[in-house]
Structure 1
Amino acid sequence: MTPTEPLTRGAAAQRTVRPPLPVKMVIAGGFGVGKTTAVGSISEIEPLTTEAAITEVAAGVDDLSHTPQKTTTTVAMDFGCITIDPTLKLYLFGTPGQERFGFMWDDIVEGAVGALVIVDTRRLDDCYAAVDYFEHKGIPFAVAINAFDGKVEHSLDEVRWALDIAEGTPLSVFDARERGSVRDALLVVLELALARTEGAA
């Protein structure tokens, strides 16, 4: 073995290292459920947000009774990313929650492997649209109940029944403010997407 052989092998190994596979995932849900918070909690870059001040007109349309401190709202999307491991990087796209921005969802969701639908149990009515959307699109999704103030208003079984969530759709409680909690919720969606891909192979 010549002295240069180990260096040659090292150089070849470096050339074969590939960047992480980019994977698109959507974070959806009703108005004020914690989508922007979740993206901000997990993103390894400064998240891109399209927040606008809530005007008096918007306040008359959007229900602020459970989110009195909320002064801004997403009007286009949120964006962030997180490297899961050296082989995989998630690019996160958060949808706007209000129904009047629903026309944007098809563009935001295009190419996504799956979605995390965030639910606020104090306002279950606001979450029907997101659940129905992904069911009709056939996109793998999981439902995560955001524990506002560390608690939820209804049990998992009650939420599953109220939103008519299929038994095969994962349902859990998480905290959108906690990085580890958001990561675990996203990994559930990723596992669903991988299982769907393997099943189709």
Structure 2
Amino acid sequence: MKQLGAFLMLLVVLVGCTSKSFDTKEAMLEYLRDPENHYLQQKKVNGYEFSLLYKPTDLLVNQELSASATEDEIRQLRSKYGAFLYFALSISKNDQELLSTTPKNRQEFGAMVNRLAFGMGSKVHLLTSKKDTIPLLDYVYPRMYGMSRSTSMLFVYPRDKKIKDSESLTITIGDLGTYTGEVKFKIATKTIKNEPTITFQ
């Protein structure tokens, strides 16, 4: 009985560690956007909606993949994008961008534009459970000029060795002039290690 119990426990662990695979990007996104799967986290602070989505490697691969891609090309793209972690952060108030709701005058507007375009590296930090800081490698802020329902940004970090030894990762977002204080999101490292894939062929 003890051996059977141990086998069942091992089976549960193995099944729990198996990453999911989807036939299309849309199917993967539907899975990722379900908060119960822990890839999307949302918070509301002082009237502002914060949303953090971890983007698996294959979402980035899919953007660059041609319809006639070979297995070797898919493997190369997975190697290229798999070296990094991608986090999409969205912030909104009343279903509008920060620049449409937060600045009270032209001076504040200019300061926020500068902060969003060039200063997010000092505002957003990725930390391991041992409090090691993972350096920001790249940051994308597409200016939408009031045409979007939220301010969206993409943060890119190296898949650092320190992450493998960390039980979780924490992303901290400093106050952006929103009087929300520091906002934190925590994601288990195993969630990233078992990230879903797309079946391209």
TM-score, structure 2 length as denominator? 0.24
Give the number of the structure whose residues are more often strand, by fraction.
2
